[in-house]
Structure 1
């Protein structure tokens, strides 16, 4: 009877863990959700890793697609400028680099230090270009709760395995 209870507990624990974790097959690393804007002849797609940015380093991925042909556009100069929630001015544009894995993707990294609603401006071909798209992005405050819950889950799981091993060893000792 104890074996059935322990096995049921393990199966339920694993099922709950898998249900609450975001295990997905994702394109371009872990980017699954792109914000999209169309300006002039281009469709601009912006995605982030992690999907819901928080204080700390965030990886941005940008795709530029020709609106007429629906094909990615290569060899553009893409610049990124950011606007913090507590400042009215845009940062100096920084150039996005071409991905080594996919040349149709432009990438850049930024370390967020302030939570709130940020704006990201994507400039095409020139730092002073009027040919740009502005995307909104909410940056969350970091929460240690998921890490703490994961640690508690692992401790419970290891304790359960230790209990099962102890039961098995006692059964072998009694049968000998």
Structure 2
């Protein structure tokens, strides 16, 4: 989601891409709206309002530059219910101050995701166990019959 606010072009992304109740990671970029040059030293704050709320429930939180790429600013937070959340992003930099709002739809977390995760973990542990089992059997045979070379 990209919007122009004053002299800035502000982009907001979420992880997960389709937000669900629980942890929410926001990634922002800020650029000069006219030149599209990324701003690496902007001061960014984010506030969030839940569905049908008039006051902020999240923040203000300061977005920090990503260690991997300073053009990205990151915030981790959580949302506690389904609905349309409104995030107000405020930017202060060399070009002045500006703010804009983003609407983010939060959905209910799918129980299938949790089940899929557990099935994946169990399968992974089973594969590891089956891979180690022949080695353990061979080691036990060597201990019980030391005269028989491997």
TM-score using structure 2 length: 0.71
- Report what 1:43 is aligned to: 9
- Report what 2:111 is aligned to: 144
- Report what 1:56 is aligned to: 22
TM-score using structure 1 length: 0.61
Alpha-carbon RMSD: 2.4
- 4+ residue runs of structure 1 moved beyond 3 angstroms? 146-152
- Report what 2:42 is aligned to: 76
- Report what 2:56 is aligned to: 90
Q: Deviations over 1:9-66 (max 9, x none)?
A: xxxxxxxxxxxxxxxxxxxxxxxxxx00001111100001100010111111000011
Gaps spanning 5+ residues in structure 1: where?
Answer: 1-34, 159-176
Moved more, 89-98 or 40-49: 89-98
Gaps spanning 5+ residues in structure 2: where?
Answer: 127-150
Higher strand share: 2
- Report what 2:139 is aligned to: none
Higher helix share: 1
Residue 88 (structure 2) pairs with residue 121 (structure 1)? yes
Indicate the SS of the match to 1:94.
strand
Q: Which structure ranks higher in relative contact order (CA pairs < 8 Å, sequence separation ≥ 6)?
A: 2
